Amino acid sequence: MTPKFAAPDTRAIPLRIVPRQGFDGWLAAQDEPVRDWVAASDFTGTAGQVLRLPAPDMAVARVLAGWGGAKERARVRFQTARIATQLKSGTYALEGDLSANEMEEAALGWLLAGYGFTRYAGEEREPARLKVPKGVDATRLEAIAAGEFLTRDLINTPASDMGPAELEAAVRDLATRHDARLHVTEGDELLASNFPMIHAVGRASTRAPRLIDLSWGTEGPQVTLVGKGVCFDTGGLNLKPGASMGLMKKDMGGAATVLGLAHMIMATSTPLRLRVLIPAVENAVSGNAFRPGDILTARNGLTVEINNTDAEGRLVLADALALADETPPDLMICMATLTGAARVAVGPDLAPFYTDDDALAMALAQAGKRVRDPLWRMPFHRPYDAMIEPGIADLDNAPSGGFAGSITAALFLDRFVRETPRFAHFDIYGWTPSAAPGRPKGGVGMGARAIFDALPRVLDL
C-alpha cells in the first residue's frame, strides 16, 4: 500500500486532539450535550482514548482523541497511529493545539498506521484517511512513510524470496522509479574487480554474491550510504543454533534501511548526489565456505584473520566501505544489523551510532529527538583497537573475550574509511519484537528518519 493523505477538498470529520492536562477546563467550555456525552462515556483525555460525538441524525459529528500527558507521550510514540487504527475507516481532519513538531509526528503516525505485510496472508485494508494538517509538508511525509514501508517489506520478506538476486531486483525497481543509475558486480566478477571479502562470504551459497551500486543526482554534496545485505546468515561453519537463526532473514536490515532512506532522498528531490552500496550475500555452508583461521585480504590491502565465520557482516561491509572511500564523499553512512552486543547495550528501540565528528553526532541526536527516531551515540574507543589486532594479520574479525562487541566491530569498520571527512556507522536491530503504535511486530527502519531530517543541517542544503 502506498501511504497517502486524503485530497485537500475531501469532506472530513473533525478530530479534536484533547490533552489530559487542562482537560477539565476544556470540558467546561463545551456545550451541555457534549459535556454529558463525554461524562457518560468516561472520556478523560487519556492517551489513545477515542470518542465519537453524534450529530442529531446520529452520524458522527466529530471525534475526540485523548492525547494523554507529557509522561504518557514520552513513553509512546505515534499516538495518532493508535487512534487511526481504532477509527478504521472514514476521512478525518486533525484539530488541536499542537506544536509544529507534534503535528508532523501526528500526521506521520497516521500514515504509518496504514502499514500491513500481507504478501503471504491477509488482505490489504483501506485505512482511515487523514487530510494533511495545515503547515505539514504532505509530499515529504508521504515520502518518509513510503521509505519506511519499503524497508519493512524488504525485512519482512523471508530469505526464500529475498536472496541477493531479489534484493538486487528491489534496488533495480527503486532505480527505475527515480531515474537512478545502477551497476552490479556479481559472482566471480567480484574477484576480478577486487572485492575479495564479499566473494569469500557469499561463495558457499548457490545464490551468487554481488555488490549493488546505485547512484542518483548530478549536483550538490556527495552522500554515500552503505548497507549490510546479508540476506540470510546461518553463521557459516560457526553455525548458529536454531534459536539464533530464526530471525536471520532480517540480517539485510541495513540494506533495507538505506534503501528506505534513499527513497526519501530521491522522492523529495533533495539537492545532493547520492550513492548506495549494498554487498548482498547469503552466508551459507558448503565445501567451499570460508573457515575459522583463514586470512583474507580486503580491497584496501588489509589482512583479516577469521576467528568466527558468524562475524561476516563486517567483512562484506569492509570491501564496500573501502570502495566508497576511494572517491571520498562529503558524508558516508553505514547501516548494519551487526552485533548482538548493541542490543544488549540499548535494546531493540534505540539505534546506536558511532562517529568521531561531534557536530555530526549532535545534528543526528537532535534530529532523532525532533522526529521521534531515537538514537544513542556510542564511542569509537581507540584503546580497544588492540583487541582487533591479532598479530598474525592486520585485523581480527571476531576478537575473543566477549567485551565491547559493538565497539570493536565499529573500530573494525573504521579501518576501511581513511579519506572520507564525515563518517557514521549505525549498529541497528531492524525489528520490532512486539507491536507498538505505527510499528507492528516485524521489520522496521531505525535511524533513517533522523538522518533524513539532519541532512540539510549537516550538509548546509
Among all residues, which ones are annotated catalytic?
240, 314
Separation CA 340–CA 282 (nearest Å): 19
Query: What is the sign of the dihedral through the CA atoms of 407, 413, 415 and 417?
Result: negative
C-alpha distances out from residue 20 to 67, 89, 188, 274, 451, Å: 6, 25, 63, 44, 32
Separation CA 166–CA 425 (nearest Å): 25
Output phi, psi for 409, to 5 deg: -65, -40
**Which of 157, 364, 113 minimizes the C-alpha distance to 256?**
157
Mapping DSSP to helix (H, G, I), strand (E, B) and coil, where does residue 305 land? strand
| C-alpha 139, offset from chain centre | 19
SS3 assignment for 347-364:
CCCCEEEECCCHHHHHHH
Output phi, psi for 380, to 5 deg: -75, 80
Mapping DSSP to helix (H, G, I), strand (E, B) and coil, where does residue 235 land? coil
With cell 459535556, the residue in question is 35
Separation CA 259–CA 255 (nearest Å): 6
Mapping DSSP to helix (H, G, I), strand (E, B) and coil, where does residue 296 land? strand
Edge-to-edge strands, sheet with 295-297: 295-297, 303-305, 395-396
Strand partners, 336: 427
